[in-house]
Structures are given as C-alpha cells and as structure tokens.
Amino acid sequence: MKCNDFLKELTDYLDGTISEGLKAELDEHLHWCRECHVVMNTTKKTIEIYRDNQIYELPENLRTRLQDAIMTKCASHKHTKKTSDK
C-alpha cells in the first residue's frame, strides 16, 4: 500500500466503514509510515471537531491539503524523481 492509497481510504478507516482486510492493510501501513500516522491523527482530531459541530463530512480542501502535504513529504524522501514536470 502506498501513501496515496492510504489517504484515499483514511476517512473510511476512521469511520470504521471498511472491510477487515483493508483495515489490516491500513494498520500495517501505519506501522511503518510515520507520515501517514501523523496525518491520521490530525484527520481524526479534525473529524472529532467537525462531529461536535454536527458537520460530518471532511471538507474537500482539507483532504486535498493533507494529501499534498503527505505526498510532498514522501517525495522528499527520494530525490530520484520530480513530481512537477513542465
């Protein structure tokens, strides 16, 4: 599982609406991926705040921001490839 796959499933993971098999894969990713662990915690807290305000859905721009942040971090680990081709 890649970070991008993880992030796609993250909200379902936190909602507990994913299958056991997929959950196990996400758990495994969290074990070795510190970045996603941080994002997961941040997202979880954000969702809790929104729940308190009776707004259940994660705003799209927040999801995009988190995704950008994690992908930038992941990309910075390997300097083999640039993400922004002209």
Q: Which of 10, 26, 36, 47 binds Zn ion (CB under 5 A)?
A: 36
Any contact of residue 3 with Zn ion (CB under 5 A)? yes
Count residues contacting Zn ion (CB under 5 A)? 3
Query: Closest CB to Zn ion among 46 and 67?
Result: 67
CA distance 39 to 69: 9
Is 47 a residue that touches Zn ion (CB under 5 A)?
A: no
Residues found near Zn ion in the complex (CB under 5 A): 3, 33, 36
